Structure 1
């Protein structure tokens, strides 16, 4: 079998492929034949060694993967051979708030899923919705779970509430889709007319082009009759404008803190945070329970994710270059089939 390996900080030059024997699951473990992976901006950060978590040299990268259980170790009860499963990004984070002891993440601190076969803890996998293909389900483990966590950690969307998503990355797209399922009114920012049209095709109600309207928070206030939105999912920044867009008593879910400073944004004035009168909370992926809830909702509504492009497993470097181009709308998928 083949697996990618990574020396962090060297970009694509640090990404190599090795051939080795298939692993065998031990007690409490399952072996999964990977059918599809997903990648995005998080993987670019890992390759550049510019990521909040430590990265072990030689690690198998990738935190998003789905496939079929082909073998199980002793005492495995949660899944069986033949099940279609997804790996959870944080295998030890089963439920509750994120804690340091649950920080081991696939593809950074422990071997990930850019491999043909992966041995995973049975606690670190969930079954995937029956109506989704492997390629579609591969989009869920990071982006969909992060969006769900962002939407449910504070005031969850409900009929008549308002949501603002920033940009057209995968987290923002999932947040918009989930919020529409809940009956919320969704406003989104984006960078082009073409992306605006695609956002509206997903059900977004109002789209603001932030290149044409640099102070887009003013448009958000206008669209909400001056009140502001109930919830902002901030996956792109700048945080200052999110705080100016949110209603008093609302929530701002900070997802993309690393992006917020890329445009030269200055530190946020504490007075602005106080004046916003909202709750600011950071969102870092989600637990296994979040993932189970995501799959339940997607199954109930027969929802399908937005897929941008599919690359074969051998072309992961080409897929990374495509991600670097910034042209994607939705998830970039790696297929093993």
Structure 2
């Protein structure tokens, strides 16, 4: 097919909410020697996208940004020095396009799609070839679009410097994107999963995905004590900590000695963390902040996804023209798993 010269893209000209999402036409240049041009088929949304739309992203964002960090698409054109990629290949881009391997740096952090640099809510996207990974064959574009942020974050938490082992206990908080992937990846790796949620119907979904123990934190506000009971007083090996100040003291209460609390989000709001340093010290807790992950971790994760046949949980798919409605649905917190936007018509 001829290479497109224009694309329809969303921008955020003002940042006091996602009602500002504006679609417009922009020109698109041919790929440079080390770039590829990708036709975006699907984009998945994150909690981060809601924060960016309000101008409150703590890691900084550019003016009038093209939002969105997570996409799956097909290669339409490759630069003349690109090796290993061909037209027609199904790909995702890594969240931070320059995070290829190893630890994150200040420079890498500034290459995160959809905040410091323009993102993927566009029909066509130029990307550096080094940012790409292959989509697992058994996944649709909609399913694959959920992987770059939520899945890689969960994988980096559970398989990072202190990787989980079969038989470990893993606690996941809630049923959002990262937590559901944490549950699925932990089960695929032979761990025993404890899931918390404020909704019994959401906990039923977690159970179907393989969670062995379920805690409704509305009915059991002292869920940390319940986790200790479940584990015979020992505590869990890994916690996917998405709540932040509102939940972290209970997480430290129910982690095992020298266990890992992976700090990923702050969706539970404020809380008293004045005693946290003493609690962390008193149990030799490994407290680790997670900024998504590298392309090599993404590739490793895709091997596990392919080998286990894991299928991402897609709650609802919206057409490109209804992107605002997709944001609204994500904001309502009714979803389990991921909210996806289908960009390409075919």
Q: Pairwise mapping of residues 57-206 of structure 1 onto structure 2 (< 5 A)?
A: 57-103=63-109, 104-206=111-213
Residue 326 of structure 2: which of 306, 319, 333 is its match? 319
CA distance in 2, matches of 1:268, 1:61: 35
User: Are residues 1:43 and 2:49 paired?
Assistant: yes
CA distance in 1, matches of 2:274, 2:149: 27
- Could you report, residue by residue, the CA deviation over 1:231-257 in whole angstroms, capped at 9, with x for unpaired residues? 11111241101000100021111111x
Residue 253 of structure 2: which of 244, 248, 255 is its match? 244
Query: Aligned residue for 1:229?
Result: 236
Query: Aligned residue for 1:254?
Result: 263
Distance 1:154 1:56, change over 3 A: same
3-state DSSP class of the match of 1:173?
A: helix
CA distance in 1, matches of 2:161, 2:217: 26
CA distance in 2, matches of 1:193, 1:251: 27
Shift of 1:268: 4.0
Query: Aligned residue for 2:273?
Result: 267
Moved over 3 A (4+): none
- Could you report, residue by residue, the CA deviation over 1:123-167 in whole angstroms, capped at 9, with x for unpaired residues? 111111011000000110100000000001243222221111111
Contact 2:18 2:50 in 1 (8 A): no
Query: Aligned residue for 1:287?
Result: 294
CA distance in 1, matches of 2:184, 2:118: 31
Shift of 1:75: 0.1
Contact 2:260 2:287 in 1 (8 A): yes
CA distance in 2, matches of 1:188, 1:236: 13
Shift of 1:20: 2.5
CA distance in 1, matches of 2:219, 2:296: 40
3-state DSSP class of the match of 2:339?
A: strand
CA distance in 2, matches of 1:33, 1:225: 51
Query: Aligned residue for 1:20?
Result: 26
CA distance in 2, matches of 1:13, 1:19: 18
User: Are residues 1:306 and 2:290 paired?
Assistant: no
Distance 1:178 1:123, change over 3 A: same
In structure 1, list runs of 5 or more residues that go unmatched.
Answer: none
Shift of 1:27: 1.4
CA distance in 2, matches of 1:220, 1:13: 40
Shift of 1:57: 1.0
Shift of 1:276: 2.5
- Could you report, residue by residue, the CA deviation over 1:291-315 in whole angstroms, capped at 9, with x for unpaired residues? 1011111011111011100000111
Residue 216 of structure 2: which of 209, 215, 225 is its match? 209
CA distance in 2, matches of 1:153, 1:315: 37
The size of the alignment, in residue pairs, is 334
3-state DSSP class of the match of 1:81?
A: coil
